[in-house]
Amino acid sequence: MEINKRNKNKWWKSAVIYQIYPRSFADSNKDGIGDLQGIISNLDYLENLGIDAIWLSPVCKSPQDDNGYDISDYQDIDPMFGTLEDMEELIKEAGKRNIRIIMDLVLNHSSDEHYWFREAKKSKENPYHDYYVWRDGKEGMPPNDMRAAFGGSAWEWVSEVQQYYFHQFSVKQPDLNWENPILRQEIYDMINWWTEKGVGGFRLDVIDQIAKEPDKRITNNGPRLHEFLRELSRETFQKADLVTVGETWGATTELAKLYSNPDNSELSMVFQFEHICLDQIEGKEKWDLAPLPFMKLKEVFKRWQTELYGKGWNSLFWNNHDLPRIVSRWGNDGKYRIESAKMLAILLHGMQGTPYIYQGEELGMTNASYDIEEYRDIETLNVYKERLEKGCMEEDIMRSIHAKSRDNARTPMQWNEEENAGFTEGKPWIKVNPNYKEINASQQVDDEDSIFRCYQELIRLRKSYPVFTEGDFQMLFMEDENIFAYAREDETLQLLVVCNFYDQTVSCSLEERIASMKLLISNYKDIDQSTLLRPYEARMYLRKK
Ligand code: NOJ
């Protein structure tokens, strides 16, 4: 196969990617859990939206301790989702609609039920022992006090081998030892096997954590990270025309230039979280809520847009399966739900990068505020328990959970007004958001004023004008505390995006800027080129130079 040396003019630069969380998307066999056939039967909906690729959260065999991010067989499909034949059918059916399938690769850890780990814990001499990260501990205690992301110690004792293994996530997600070249080769073979099946790319789960060095307390960005990534890319991704996106919580713009270097030596793009972590108390956890510092949000976007220009590639997103719904978070899920959802979409989709739409975002789906019994997510249940034990007030814990629980994103896709929002004819694995009668796909697809139609139009526009992909970026009204505005420009076009981020009317001195510009899209019907921006008003203009 031809080696891809540079990633200029790559298809994924003008693509829009849609993320599916399979267990919550569509259930075809009435067991209450979404599956591959459910996805296949909704491909026409996605084609109509206009997306180019689907990032599929993990569907490989898994005990589902962390909803599939704990894989016990990387080369088989979990029966809950279907079979390998279903997966092949999905790749083929999506392909017919020019939609590529991006697999979620969980390479930092496996499930403790993976064959490798079951062997690894039998004895220190077992050939698989060194596939994982083991330490003897000190006087009957773990080697250090590192904590796992989902609570508790990052070390777990195994009496058969008289050692502790390292796990950055749950105890059922032992970390893989990337120092071991035999393990690395197994991983490359597995990836190449999927590539030959015709997948269009890979999303790499917590990829900046693979080069951990727990003795030095290093988790992110370990010293050998880029060496590992280059080898991984050379042995796998560069052999085909793939998109690769690295989940990198610890990325700075400098690191992102390495990960997404246009020489294609590592990955296509980063998926970084600097903007999305702003509404928490600095230095604390996401549960420690703080209001969004709007000026900081502008500064962060400006920095990423300008510093990566020509030197790297970023993802554009508000949501994924780990994040609360953006319309509830930074928009307004009451009176201005439609306006604010569209404003957030317009604001994001005018920038440089590859946009990701998370299932239901295109409908303006909202957070769910359930009682604790309705939550299913391991992280949410653990924090509830841990904080109660620490003496926190239940009311405060629930406030954090309502705002930030990952289950906000995982309630079933709202297809129509029928029972269970049309997601399943069985009993859904997690409660459907009760607002499905007001918010659902069947109502929006044919309504030209819907949020769905706004996303559809944004996707169409991105494909029509190269300025979206290639234009530079200039932040406007930087000191304004309500307005998010920017201009972009390439050789032939100028693009202008102006958004009122809040629910009060504000004035904005746009006169000269919008003169002779054409309005491409907005979220109010009666646009009169006025300089007053109504609550959450957003406009996008274009001019030929
Ligand atoms: C990041 C994934 O997005 C999240 O859902 C998962 O729990 C962790 N990585 C561990 O795999």
C-beta separation of 45 from 441 below 8 A:
yes
- The per-residue pLDDT for 2 is 41
Count Cβ atoms below 10 Å from residue 388 Cβ, excluding itself: 13
Of ligand 1's listed atoms, the one at least distance from the Cα of 69 is 11
Between CA 196 and CA 199 the distance in angstroms is 7
Contacts 24+ apart (CB under 8 A), 122-127: 122/160, 122/161, 123/160, 123/161, 124/161, 124/163, 127/182
Ligand 1 geometric centre to CA of 70 (Å): 9
What average pLDDT does this structure show over 109-124? 98
Cα–Cα distance for residue pair 462/485, rounded to 1 Å: 18
Which atom of ligand 1 lies closest to the CA of 70?
11
CA 437/CA 302 separation, integer angstroms: 38
User: Which of 67, 106, 208 to mutate for ligand 1's pocket (most ligand atoms within 8 Å of CB)?
Assistant: 106
Which run of H or E residues covers position 184? helix 181-196
pLDDT tens, residue by residue, 40-56 = 999 999 999 999 999 99
**What is the position in ligand 1's atom list of the atom closest to the CA of 378?**
7
Quick count: other Cβ atoms within 10 Å of Cβ 98? 10
Q: State the pairing for strand pair 269-271/243-247.
A: parallel
Written as one letter, the residue type at 387 is R
- Gap between the Cα atoms of 245 and 314, Å rounded: 9
Whether 247 sits among the annotated catalytic residues: the reply is yes
Report the separation in Å between the CA atom of 473 and the middle of ligand 1, taken as the mean of its atom positions. Answer: 32
Residues within 6 Å of ligand 1 by CB = 66, 69, 106, 169, 205-206, 247, 321-322
Q: How many CB atoms lie within 10 A of CB 436?
A: 25
Kindly report whether the global pTM for this prediction surpasses the value 0.95.
Answer: yes
Nearest CA residue ID for atom 5, ligand 1? 322
The alpha carbon of 206 and the centre of ligand 1 are apart by a number of angstroms equal to 7
The pLDDT assigned to 83 comes to 98
Give the Å distance between the CA of 375 and the centre of ligand 1: 17
pLDDT band (50, 70, 90) for residue 95:
very high
Active-site choice (208, 247, 362, 379): 247
Which of 169, 176, 220, 356 best tests ligand 1's pocket when mutated (most atoms within 8 Å of CB)? 169
Model confidence over 182-228: pLDDT tens digits? 999 999 999 999 999 999 999 999 999 999 999 999 999 999 999 99
Pocket test for ligand 1, best of 74, 109, 205, 377 (most atoms within 8 A of CB): 205
Q: Nearest C-alpha to atom 2 of ligand 1 is from which residue?
A: 205
pLDDT above 60 (res 511): yes
Which atom of ligand 1 is nearest to 322's Cα? Answer: 5
Give the chain's mean pLDDT: 96
- Distance between Cα 204 and ligand 1 center (Å): 10
Residue nearest to atom 6 of ligand 1 (CA): 69
Catalytic residue among 35, 104, 205, 322: 205
- Closest ligand 1 atom to Cα of 379: 7
Contact 52/97 with Cβ under 8 angstroms? Answer: no
What confidence score (pLDDT) does residue 515 get? 87
Q: What is the mean pLDDT of residues 351-380?
A: 98
Counting from 1 in the atom list of ligand 1, the atom nearest the Cα of 320 is 3
Could you tell me the pLDDT band of residue 8, with boundaries at 50, 70 and 90? low
- pLDDT of 136 over the 90 cut: yes
CA-to-CA separations, 435 to 10, 339, 519, in angstroms, rounded: 40, 17, 33
- Cα 169 to ligand 1 centroid, rounded to whole Å: 8
